[in-house]
Structure 1
């Protein structure tokens, strides 16, 4: 199901309202590095980076993946997120440096 920009912006605002003081504001924006952060908004649960990317790119169509230029799967810094295809993402993984 596609994510609209309006829904993405509202989900990110909702997340920040609840957790802004818990964020690691270093180079990457991360939260709870035990797993990829997810956020439930309006009955829909998505990885937080998808909500952020949806806000950045004016929505995300079905079939679009979000790639991390920083190689950190926990990061949701909008400057580190680019959209692409599954093939793009698989190509990126070959050179992934994040452990």
Structure 2
């Protein structure tokens, strides 16, 4: 089984330009909604296969754009609360507790207040 942190660290160290090109391809193959979310034409979270590994498109995009290999317990939070969004401006890293807090904020206010 592949360790995702090691896989991403290898990509960032040895294949970053190729990964940046893949990110550009992913982002260009989207539509933008009224909230600025960049959405793929998939019904579920888009997956990306790259150099022997697979992850969600938003995690791949965040890691490559930020040049950061995340640990297993770190999650990508969607400030827009749209799990189908891959807009790098809407993504930030956190943990599962942060993610649950985001859910509560969205239930209470309809959006992350810092996003306004």
TM-score category (smaller protein): 0.7 to 0.9
Deviation at 1:56, TM superposition (A): 2.8
- Secondary structure of 2:32's counterpart equals coil
Is the 1:49–1:76 contact (alpha carbons within 8 Å) kept by the matching residues of 2?
A: yes
Could you say which structure has the larger radius of gyration?
2
For structure 2, which runs of at least 5 residues remain unmatched after alignment?
112-116
The correspondence for 1:74, drawn from 73, 84, 87, is 84
Deviation at 1:28, TM superposition (A): 0.8
Using CA pairs under 8 Å that are at least 6 residues apart, name the structure with larger relative contact order, 1 or 2.
1
Match of 1:23 in 2: 30
Query: TM-score w.r.t. structure 2 length?
Result: 0.69
Cα 1:75–1:18 shift into 2, 3 Å? closer
TM-score, length-normalised on structure 1? 0.79
Once superposed, what is the RMSD of the aligned Cα atoms?
Answer: 2.5
